[in-house]
């Protein structure tokens, strides 16, 4: 029996690629480079399904290209804002994602950035590696304490909750959460205070961590006006999506000191990073590695395989988004 043709746009962990080859006619990435618009259109024309990533712009124009053979897009990742899901649904293309398997590692990365920004770790590392460190002195590279401070969590899904647990139980932080769907009862059960007004939360916290998806209603969520409402000296962390922050306004706030420091794993137009942001000593920057552990990335890939299996077997796909 002819096996479905599945094009995989980027290299995946070895265990995942082995599963794909075992179950499908898998066309794997040889050079781990983005396919680009033309490559994606070709994949849709030649394959029954495409395993995509955040770097693949599956726009309405790309999806509407003909000929088109693909009936499914299995997104490798929780987010799928690179896919025009409305266009996909109109064309009868099933879209799935891989939620729930990267929560712990992304929460760990959030705490990593929070600590690094608070303790000015990247500044110290640059000084040391640059041969500029002259030795210990009492007022050198002073950061701020994390323990006992107020952490505001914007968005209280799986990852936001996991960050809250680490902050409360590990550092004795007082957690305040804002979420459109969080009830007072659920907040109480999670051990956090509920704030119903985002601007109020921004003005009362020592640290702010973002955990909202990128949607038309959250692009950007932290507008220039909302950034102006942040209490001076606050530290901001973002492991969600880069475009939920007005990056230009954030750069200005970091320059002025209104935002004391930022820990960022995601960027508005990644992989392009504004030179002004790269030059800021109070910005701790990571290359979108929130889920970059062998465990998370393998689990994500195997979940994408499970979505493909269900689709081609005629069963309900586990993680349907469109």
Residue 270 among the catalytic residues: yes
DSSP category for residue 218:
G
Cβ contact 277:251 at 8 Å: yes
Residue 320 among the catalytic residues: no
Half-sphere exposure of 236 (CA within 13 A, CB side): 35
From 119, 241, 258, 297, the catalytic residue = 241
Could you tell me the two tokens for 276?
């002004």
What is residue 60's three-state secondary structure?
helix
From 120, 166, 211, 288, the catalytic residue = 288
Spatial separation of the C-alpha atoms in residues 217 and 227, rounded to whole Å: 17
E-strand stretches of 125-278: 150-154, 174-178, 193-194, 207-210, 234-238, 259-264
Cβ contact 50:284 at 8 Å: no
Residues known to be catalytic:
241, 270, 288
């Amino acid at each position: 029996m002819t096996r479905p043709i599945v094009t995989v746009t980027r290299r995946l962990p070895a265990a995942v690629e082995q599963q794909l080859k075992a179950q499908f006619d898998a066309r794997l990435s040889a050079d781990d480079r983005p396919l680009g618009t033309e490559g994606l259109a070709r994949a849709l024309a030649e394959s029954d399904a495409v395993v995509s990533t955040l770097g693949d712009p599956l726009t309405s124009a790309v999806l509407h290209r003909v000929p088109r053979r693909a009936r499914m897009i299995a997104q490798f990742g929780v987010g799928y804002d690179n896919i025009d899901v409305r266009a996909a649904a109109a064309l009868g293309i099933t879209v799935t994602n891989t939620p729930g398997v990267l929560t712990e590692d992304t929460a760990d990365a959030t705490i990593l950035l929070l600590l690094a920004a608070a303790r000015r770790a990247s500044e110290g590392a640059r000084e040391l590696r640059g041969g500029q460190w002259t030795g210990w002195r009492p007022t050198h590279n002073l950061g701020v304490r994390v323990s006992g401070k107020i952490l505001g969590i914007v968005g209280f899904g799986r990852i936001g909750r996991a960050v809250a647990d680490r902050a409360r139980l590990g550092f004795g932080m007082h957690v305040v959460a804002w979420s459109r769907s969080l009830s007072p009862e659920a907040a109480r059960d999670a051990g956090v205070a509920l704030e119903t007004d985002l601007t109020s939360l921004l003005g009362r916290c020592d640290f702010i961590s973002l955990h909202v998806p990128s949607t038309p209603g959250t692009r950007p969520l932290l507008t220039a006006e909302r950034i102006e409402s942040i209490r001076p000296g606050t530290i901001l962390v973002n492991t969600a999506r880069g475009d939920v922050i007005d990056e230009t306004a954030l750069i200005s706030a970091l320059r002025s000191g209104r935002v004391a420091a930022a820990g960022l794993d995601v960027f508005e137009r990644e992989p392009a990073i504004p030179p002004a942001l790269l030059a800021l000593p109070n910005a701790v920057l990571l290359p979108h590695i929130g889920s970059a552990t062998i465990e998370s990335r393998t689990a994500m890939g195997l979940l994408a395989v499970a979505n493909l299996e269900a689709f081609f077997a005629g069963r309900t796909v586990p993680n349907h988004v469109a």
